[in-house]
């Protein structure tokens, strides 16, 4: 099952600071909801084990992430591949930064491809849960960068 998400929000922090944080695995893992464990491989790669609970599907998913296509302080790509809870997933997300007033506008998009038990839950439920997770991640990012 495939689906697309996108959005835009503003953070009251300078683009250089936002880009540095969003392209830093040590920062990014602190923003993932329901994180059980993580491992930083290098400056562009990390692994995150995340608790999932969607409908009757419960368990953990281990995601391997890679940061690429970095154009400081404007653009980067985050790709994740994972398995767990009877499912397999592939995520590709992009973020683009631009100065806005005293902060930074962040435009983002994500494409997900899931198979297995989670894909069997159904598109609307899975997309809604994914939107909730993404919103939590961005709320965490915003909270950390604006303090």
Give residue-wise pLDDT tens across range 72-99: 999 999 999 999 988 899 999 999 999 9
* Residue 122 confidence (pLDDT): 67
Non-local (6+) Cβ contacts of 19 within 8 A are: 72, 73, 74, 76, 97
Domain count of the chain?
Answer: 1
Output 133 or 10, whichever has higher pLDDT: 10
pLDDT confidence of 111, banded at 50, 70, 90?
very high
pTM for the structure as a whole: 0.89
Mean of pLDDT values over 120-145? 84
Output 132 or 119, whichever has higher pLDDT: 132
- For 118, counting Cβ atoms within 10 Å of its Cβ (0-12 exposed, 13-18 middle, 19+ buried), the class is buried
* Residue 127 confidence (pLDDT): 80
Q: What is the CATH number of the domain that holds 82?
A: 3.30.530.20
Non-local (6+) Cβ contacts of 4 within 8 A are: 109, 110, 111, 112
* Residue 103 confidence (pLDDT): 95
Q: Three-state secondary structure along 75-142?
A: EEEEEEEEEECCEEEEEEEEEEEEEECCEEEEEEEEEEEEEECCHHHCHHHHHHHHHHHHHHHHHHHH
The pair of three-digit structure tokens given for residue 102, joined into one six-digit string: 């005293």
* Residue 93 confidence (pLDDT): 94
Domain that holds residue 66: 2-145
Give residue-wise pLDDT tens across range 16-70: 999 999 999 999 999 999 999 999 999 999 999 999 877 677 889 999 999 999 9
């Amino acid at each position: 099952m495939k689906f697309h998400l996108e959005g835009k929000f503003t953070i009251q922090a300078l683009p250089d600071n936002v880009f540095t944080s969003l392209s830093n695995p040590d920062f990014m893992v602190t923003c993932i909801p329901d994180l059980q464990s993580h491992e930083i491989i290098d400056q562009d790669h990390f692994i995150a084990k995340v608790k999932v609970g969607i409908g009757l599907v419960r368990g953990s998913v281990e995601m391997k992430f890679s940061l690429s296509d970095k154009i400081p302080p404007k653009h980067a790509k985050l790709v994740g591949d994972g398995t767990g809870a009877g499912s397999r997933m592939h995520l590709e997300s992009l973020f683009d930064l631009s100065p806005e007033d005293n902060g930074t506008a962040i435009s983002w998009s994500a494409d997900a491809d899931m198979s297995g038990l989670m894909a069997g839950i159904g598109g609307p439920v899975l997309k809604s849960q994914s939107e909730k997770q993404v919103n939590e991640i961005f709320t965490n990012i915003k909270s950390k960068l604006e303090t």
